[in-house]
Amino acid sequence: MEKRKTVRYQVQREKGNSLWQIYKTVSFWKVVKCFLVVQTSRYIPWMPVKNWMYRTFLGMKIGERTAVALMVMMDTMYPEGISIGSNSIIGYNTTILAHEYLIDEYRLGDVTIGNEVMIGANCTILPGVSIGDGAIVSAGTLVHKNVPPGAFVGGNPMGIIRQGKDESNVDL
Q: Name beta bridge partners: 111.
A: 82
H-helix segments, the chain: 28-41, 47-58
Strand pairing class (7-10; 61-62): unpaired
Average pLDDT, the chain: 94
**104, part of any domain:** yes
Q: What is the DSSP letter of 139?
A: T
Q: Give me the pLDDT at residue 131, please.
A: 98
**11, part of any domain:** no
**Rounded distance between C-alpha atoms, residue 21 and residue 117, angstroms:** 35
**167, part of any domain:** no
pLDDT: is 171 or 154 the higher one? 154
**135, part of any domain:** yes
**CATH, residue 105:** 2.160.10.10
Number of domains forming the structure of the chain? 1
- Per residue in 80-137, pLDDT tens? 999 999 999 999 999 999 999 999 999 999 999 999 999 999 999 999 999 999 999 9
Global pTM value: 0.92
- Per residue in 28-55, pLDDT tens? 999 999 999 999 999 999 999 999 999 9
Parent domain of 121: 16-161
- The values of phi and psi at residue 133, to 5°, are -55, 135
**Distance between first and last Cα of the chain:** 22
Q: Give me the pLDDT at residue 15, please.
A: 86
**138, part of any domain:** yes
**169, part of any domain:** no
**Rounded distance between C-alpha atoms, residue 9 and residue 37, angstroms:** 27
**100, part of any domain:** yes
Active site residue 99: yes
User: What's the one-letter identity of residue 71?
Assistant: M
**24, part of any domain:** yes
* Active-site residue, selected from the candidate residues 4, 50, 99, 107: 99
